Structure 1
């Protein structure tokens, strides 16, 4: 399913609606926040560095608020959720890290799985009683190289490989969406869980990529992918505002990524058994549980 050339210009009127965008202090998140605000939404920029977030918010024409959120620290995630009041229409789980050196979050999780998946898992489940419309989780085309090792999610027993760790976390994003939508449907909830990926977009996310991977990334920017964060954010904006069924996975279409389209899932990111086991493990690791 593909669209004609699409830009955020025809976003529906979002007046009276509230959106949270994680990682909105740069790149895709900043553009996503700007466009949602331009369409009339009240946008909360959930960022690790509030000073940077305020700089971005100051350049946005619209109703914005900056709140501190460190997805690598469950205490910060809980504090953000505990202080939320009122309805949250759209949650955009955008923040992420890529190919960083091996390290641990404040809670002892491997940095990629802890930040990209577990932080957003906890945030979403804690905020879910407030969410009225949809959750959009930003994955990556590199989810295709990911493997979920449920016995070693934190890379304690394997040789650490930054891109593989990133791929695992991005595959986890897709399996999280799959299982979340199953639970929402089972509960008869109108809330939808969707995912998106930007394709190849030149953002600060790849600053830790080195070696041959860096060479291939630069080639991708030049020949096979979009270069601008604006194009990379289109699938997220499409997933956040268009009438799509739950568990839709939106990616870029066209040479420059200007035509968002719903993509086919792979067998790996459609594995319902692994998705359920990952969910159970994520609950155990974070202490954040699906509302019952």
Structure 2
């Protein structure tokens, strides 16, 4: 029989293991730890029977309590909808004039619309609605298709250049790439457009090119942008005589637009958002365009 060695200080048996003169004591697990492990294991087994736990093929054990996170979330969503119903019903059905004239309701629109805008629109237009490269600024009250809430709602529902059967369609032709205008005509009409918002560009050395560009504009561009270049909201043609630009108003960018064309895209939200959400966003965006200094 092997001799049992005990530690002289504690009196406990050793395991026989030794590292660098340090001997390991055969110390039992504290009773408190054992009780904790037993209780947690018993509780885990007990809990398996109470709540959904084990996968079984295409389903799972439902548990005796019938707890289901899906039904819990659905109940919470339904409760939230019921709490919002008084004002969502108004936003979904009342005329826009009535909504805009009700300051309490407009405050709700601003609070709720900010969240909806952040979730659905900010990726392109920025969280503040001021746009970014190649996406319109919605706060400057300068619109392609019109800034009234009715028109904004319509644009949101059908989108721009989408598969929706009523989609708004807009495209700037590639006059240079498709050889509708030669190189000099592209540069001349671009110079003319640039001069509309940069009066200091109309210097004696540039006048010949600007005048030539005016003639090209009248024969090629005025059908969409108007004779005065102030745009046409019926076809989504932007105003070229103001300081607001989607793709940029410097001369080189204008040349690139005339040469290569432009075709924007806005999704159709008709099947993604409900009526109240679309109308809330329409009022919110309209308010962005009129409330900014």
Q: Same fold (TM over 0.5)?
A: no
Structure that is richer in strand per residue: 1
TM-score, scaled relative to structure 1: 0.21
Structure with greater Cα Rg = 2
TM-score, scaled relative to structure 2: 0.21
Structure that is richer in helix per residue: 2
